[in-house]
Amino acid sequence: MTTKYVTLQDQTWQPGEVGGVPMETCALWEGKYNVRAGFLRVPTGLQTPTHHHAYWVSILVISGKLHVEAVGAKAHTVAAGEYYFVEPGETHVETALEDTLLLVVKEEDREALRQTP
């Protein structure tokens, strides 16, 4: 195994979608450890539909600001330099209060993804 470095020149931004909502994505790392890491650019006013994840999701706000509402919990505004962790099955919605850049690290079933045609 070798340490992986991703320089600014290595970063490839692509149109993508998260929960059916279009936003720019930049994959940083995907591997055999059931974990994926990447950046998301979330434009001001964009709101994800109410959703949940089968696995945990870890989010660091690099720049900008998000409003996060989880069912049954107090809403939070998460600003640049702040972090939140979403437990598996936790229903929530996120709204970008300004243009926001996120580092997202999440668990997923990589084996199931490899078997998808």
How confident is the model over 30-78, as pLDDT tens digits?
877 889 999 999 999 999 999 999 999 999 999 999 999 999 999 999 9
Full DSSP string of 50-82: SB--SS-EEEEEEEEEEEEEETTS--EEEETT-
Q: Is residue 13 part of a domain?
A: no
- 107 located within any domain: yes
| Secondary element (H or E) of residue 28 | strand 21-30
The mean pLDDT of 79-88, rounded to a whole number, is: 97
92-107 vs 76-79, strand pairing mode = unpaired
Q: Which two tokens stand for residue 58?
A: 């870890």
Calpha distance 91→96 (Å, rounded): 17
Q: What is the pTM of this model?
A: 0.87
**Within-domain flag for 84:** yes
Give the total residue count for the chain: 117
Higher pLDDT residue, 94 or 116? 94
- How many domains are contained in the chain? 1
Q: Which domain holds residue 30?
A: 19-115
